[in-house]
Structure 1
């Protein structure tokens, strides 16, 4: 049985709780992943998804209808929007532990932390699907 350590992304991007949403928007505008970890002094405090960001920002940003008030939403701090105390797993957890959390907690990523709550990686449901797809291709009859 695969452990989470074998599936997780080992270099998650993190931001500070005092960073602005501008910082997070710039990250999401330039990458293909959908979550950043919120870390302070090496300890996981929360998670911020691209969906959380979109909910917090004015829909008028970048349009002809944009006003200074719309742009001000970019100045909100990460800690005002992030999910606090996210569900986590440790690296030695099994894939079924993650699948259970995805199904029961309604999350789309799971930070992987050590016993002191220091981030070690991040696992998304896409990581699991990708692994299952590779496994299926290796075992498929030719």
Structure 2
């Protein structure tokens, strides 16, 4: 097997990113997760990355009774939480000129599923473990 581990993050990252604001309610995240193929939302404040909200974080914050017959008002109130209350703060990031080997090492080292891509502090994309896997099988 001849895998090029020197491929740059910028070559395989997703530049179509979805951001939400720190004070957005989880109803906004629900709408995005229900209707788009994204599993990680980047949380910004004044155009600066402040955190990441994974679909797993979102689901963990909700009552398990949401959407079923046992749902109560208290359950539906969990959707009123704000993004900053459940997001992961100060996410691990990577630069676009770093290699996919470095990206993979960071994902494994921190046991995370994605890395926001910052170019001189500006959010330019996201790379996930699935992006890396696609690069390996391509």
State the TM-score, normalizing by the size of structure 2: 0.94
* Cα drift, residue 99 of structure 1: 0.8
Query: How far did residue 103 of structure 1 move?
Result: 1.1
Matched, 1:122 2:121: no
How many equivalent residue pairs? 133
Shift of 1:6: 0.4
Unaligned runs of 5+ in 1: 135-142
Q: Deviations over 1:58-109 (max 9, x none)?
A: 0101111000000000000000000000000011011111011011100100
> What do you get for the CA RMSD once the two structures are aligned?
0.7
Residue 90 (structure 2) aligns with: 85
Equivalence for 1:103: 108
List gaps (5 residues or longer) in structure 2.
1-5
Q: Name the larger-Rg structure.
A: 1
Aligned to 1:65: 70
Alignment of 1:1-142 (within 5 A): 1-116=6-121, 118-134=122-138
- Structure 1 runs of 4+ off > 2 angstroms? none
